[in-house]
Structure 1
């Protein structure tokens, strides 16, 4: 019998924690969370989902988990936003113009994430709106993106466009912009465009510093490209069996798939080996 080899747990959501139907076993999670807290371990949800969606997803446990939302752009502790890293509205509009110039059709399937609301064009294809409504229920439709308000804080731009252009897009826009971007993908065709140097790992570093937990005592789970920095940061890193090959190559271990309760199985294994 031994102590837990970690004091903080970071998990991605889609493709990792929830199954393909976007569900998880609340009762099982509650039991695991209780056992983890008995060991003084902290649970952090690190996701590309916005904070509002995560609060709805984990409403039963809102006082027991923290959030690294929008791929690290928004940090939530005790139900309150404690830090945001954002784009200016000017940068967002310059990015929209660049997409329109270099990637015809991309702007029509673009969503702009703000802390208060998210924004679609009225002309956006209905299928794209439907597929994102679950993640961004507080969405507003505008005639053009010039109409997005000055008083929101913009954390991410999601584009339905082949992700193979992500490096080209990042380099091309950054070569002409003072505000820099980073382009990543969660494993789907969509590209997530976030402020440069924003990622889940940097968000987690702030929580680890606050909690006084060294990175060697972090265990992390993920499946997509936007999890790579987080997995590299963690002392114990698990790629899901269903994850991308590039993620599996950098993780130290492989967990069962998201449809096989992989996160729960790994955490239960560690808990069952401990004294408490």
Structure 2
């Protein structure tokens, strides 16, 4: 069989509880890599948090992090940055609406003002045990902009103010300074302009020589739709939102019942 490029979202797709990959899914992905199929995780998480999940599968697994703003290829790490103007306007708009924004480099979280404790708790759900991520309160926009040469993406988390989040998203989207997406109803993901998971998928297809027809993408959330549309074999998890299931070519079992493993066992055997 010719090689297939296999790409999976993490939360709600590869990981069972945001932190662990099941043994059966690990086995299935390693069998696929043994057969010559490259494998990448693709996530909105910062690179360090994505890498630790990828390594649960194998040290051969590649990483697409920060919603496509950073990815691995042939031992190199490719970066796209949010930029100073996007950081400035995000800081201004979120401050005006009383929301908390977090900005990510490969291994550090930056923020300007101390967030509410429930927002900080929501962010830490994604940090696995045993991994210490740098967290730095920079205090001012000026100090934030000093880190612009390393900030790839950001997130606004608002579990208690849906209307403020909606208005913030509308205002930032209208400025057209960045790509604005979401992985859940209570957040807004900030990605460099013209970049999302799909751009990383296209770049990897070009670099590996594996076409869309032999690209398998698994996802469950709205921010997975772009990359799924770049795949000839798009697979919605059983727990995926309706919009993802609507555009997917296939649907498999949910992330808590080894949907990835079950699909690969059938597809790579019969394709």
Shorter-chain TM-score tier: 0.7 to 0.9
Deviations 1:67-110 (A, max 9, x none): 111110001235641x1111223430232113333xx112xx21
Selected match of 2:142 from 146, 155, 160: 146
| Counterpart residue number, 2:88 | 93
Residue 164 of structure 1 and its aligned partner are, at CA, apart by 4.1
Measured after TM superposition, the shift of residue 123 of structure 1 is 2.2
Q: Is 1:84 aligned to 2:79, yes or no? A: yes
- Distance change >3 Å, CA 62–CA 55, structure 1 → 2: farther
2:257 aligns to what? 260
**Shift in Å, 1:134:** 4.7
The gaps in structure 2 that reach 5 residues or longer are 128-132
- Could you say what secondary structure the match of 2:29 adopts? helix
CA distances 1:8-56 after superposition (whole Å, capped 9, x unpaired):
111000011111353212x434432332123311101111111101222
**Matching residue of 1:177:** none
Contact 2:47/2:107 (8 A) holds in 1: no
Over the aligned positions, Cα root-mean-square deviation in angstroms equals 2.3
Which of residues 14, 17, 23 is equivalent to 2:14?
Answer: 17
Does the alignment pair 1:160 with 2:157? yes
3-state secondary structure, aligned to 1:267: helix
In 1, the alpha carbon distance for the partners of 2:67 and 2:237 equals 18
Query: Paired residue for 2:119?
Result: 128
TM-score w.r.t. length of structure 2: 0.86
The residue aligned with 1:215 is 212
Match of 2:245 among 248, 267, 276: 248
Matched residues, number: 260
Instruction: Give the deviation of 1:116 after TM superposition.
Output: 4.4
* Contact 1:118–1:140 (Cα < 8 Å) also in 2: yes
Q: C-alpha separation between the residues in 1 aligned to 2:135 and 2:169?
A: 28
1:105 alignment partner in structure 2: 98
- The normalised TM-score by structure 1 is 0.85
Q: Does 1:56 align with 2:55?
A: no
Structure 2 CA distance for partners of 1:241 and 1:9, relative to 1, 3 Å: same
